[in-house]
Amino acid sequence: MDSAAQARFDLIRENLAEVLNPEILEGILAEGRHPRIYWGTATTGRPHVGYFLAALKIAQLLRAQCDVVVLLADIHGFLDNLKAPLELVDNRAQYYRKVITAILESVGVSTEKLEFVLGSSYQKSPEYVMDVYRLSSLISESDAKKAGAEVVKQTDNAPLSGLLYPVLQVLDEEHLKVDCQLGGMDQRKLFAAAVEWLPKLGYRKRAHLINPMISGLKGAKMSSSIEDSKIDLLDSADSITKKIKKAESAPKVVEGNGVIALVEYVLLPAADLKGKKEFRVERKDQEPLIYTDIKQLEEDYKNDVLTPQMLKPAVADGLINLMAPIQAAYQASTEWQEITAKAYPPPVVEKKQKKVKNKGTRHPGAAAEPEKPATE
């Protein structure tokens, strides 16, 4: 590769946990072509701040002159243990499109060259459905379970649809005509399956870009289904401050620290895209601590130069400022607000029926018992 192609490749792989089959991308770049890369998201729970991780990577891919496709995987959301009921799927897909566009625009990235594709727009075609049948005949039940183990919700006596989920995701690479797929570390087994399965149908294997997983505020991975582990992109400033204040962040402990992860994977990369890569921590009666590199921050945290009490307010302020444009866009869009109400309607709380107590016949005011007929 020449220096220009190498610079594009370096930007593509920056901040990733792993790249599978990088030679595929290197070959495309060496030819001077634009790699076509897709990132898919099942349109289920409301996107949280962890979605910045994928969005910021997409921003880098666009800067590296890649053709990027965002798959709004509505059918996948339905297949994954019915996380997205069919009557809500369309509105949730629209909500995701609004959010992802707003995230990218909030860090100054043009979305003109970003292509959004709805899964149901091609996943019901005769050609796609036939490929689902063909691939299903070539892989075993255990293969499908293994591939989707960390992506599809695992339950006792799970619906058969969970086994179809990885089959569809693998076939998406062919039917979206991409060279590469982007996803999180939890999808690594699925990516490995794609490399193995697609050639069985005579299709070429693709490269895979693997993002690290961002820790949640309660130690595990950030999840839409665990309220205390995440910050919603439309949370108020007060809510963000409270959630960060309650987050697990043991002094001197860097591993699994969700607050530090937000600096590493969200705040610093976003600041870099905006043109000034730094994270500031204000201190009373002292000069602020300014970090341009996560290793420098981690070192200070391990040595107690940077304490949780100093870090948390700085992270909360950083997130509030970062999400301000997203929230402003939401407030300015009646359409987005209406979509939100339809996509995530408040749960219907059934009122408990008040039981009428039987107070007995001796209670004052009780209805008199009918007289028994006299016996002869």
Structural contact between residues 252 and 260, judged by C-beta atoms closer than 8 angstroms: no
Q: 50 pLDDT exceeds 90?
A: no
Q: Indicate the range of 119-128, 189-198, 216-225, 308-317 predicted with least confidence.
A: 216-225
What is the Cα gyration radius of the chain? 26
Q: How far apart are CA 308 and CA 301, in angstroms?
A: 8
Residue 368 has pLDDT above 80, yes or no: no
Q: What is the mean pLDDT of the chain?
A: 88
Q: How far apart are CA 153 and CA 355, in angstroms?
A: 39
Residue 359 has pLDDT above 50, yes or no: yes
Superfamily of domain 3-211: HUPs (3.40.50.620)
CATH 3.40.50.620 domain extents, the chain:
3-211
pLDDT of residue 170: 97
Q: State in Å, rounded, how far the first CA of the chain is from the last one.
A: 114
| Residue bearing the bigger pLDDT, 117 or 362 | 117
CB 152 within 8 A of CB 76: no
More confident position, 95 or 1: 95
Residue 225 has pLDDT above 70, yes or no: no
Token readout for 306 is 């940077």
Query: What is the band of 219 on the pLDDT scale with cuts at 50, 70, 90?
Result: low
pLDDT above 70 coverage of the chain, percent: 86
pLDDT at 79: 78
pLDDT-based confidence at 373, cuts 50/70/90?
low
Beta-strand relationship, 180-184 and 207-211? parallel
Q: What is the pLDDT of residues 82-129, one digit of tens each?
A: 555 777 888 999 999 999 999 988 888 888 889 999 999 999 999 999
What is the tens place of the pLDDT at every residue in 295-307?
Answer: 999 999 999 999 9
Domain 237-343 maps to which CATH number in 1.10.10.10, 1.10.240.10, 3.30.930.10, 3.40.605.10? 1.10.240.10
Q: Which residues pair with 73 in a beta bridge?
A: 42
Question: How many CB atoms within 10 Å of residue 310?
Answer: 17
CA–centroid distance for 285 within its chain: 40
Residue 376 has pLDDT above 50, yes or no: no
Structure tokens at 182: 């982007």
- Output the pLDDT for position 220: 56
> Residue 289 CA to chain centroid, in angstroms?
31
Q: 170: which 2 tokens? A: 């693998």
Tell me, what's the pLDDT at 222? 55
Q: Which residues contact 159 (CB under 8 A, 6 or more apart)?
A: 81, 82
Measured distance CA(212)–CA(356) in Å, rounded: 57
**Beta carbons within 10 angstroms of residue 246's beta carbon:** 12
- Of residues 220, 242, 227, the one with CA closest to residue 315: 242
Going by pLDDT thresholds of 50, 70 and 90, the confidence category of residue 261 is very high
CB of 294 closer than 8 Å to CB of 264: yes
User: 346 falls in which pLDDT band (50, 70, 90)?
Assistant: confident
Residues of each domain in the chain carrying CATH 1.10.240.10: 237-343
Which of these ranges, 40-49, 184-193, 233-242, 332-341, has the smallest mean pLDDT? 40-49
Q: To 10 degrees, the CA torsion angle through 166, 169, 175, 176? A: -170
**More confidently predicted of 345 and 159:** 345
Residue environment code for 311-321, b if the CB has 16+ CB neighbours within 10 A, otherwise e: bbebbbbbbbe
pLDDT band at 253 (very low <50, low <70, confident <90, very high): very high
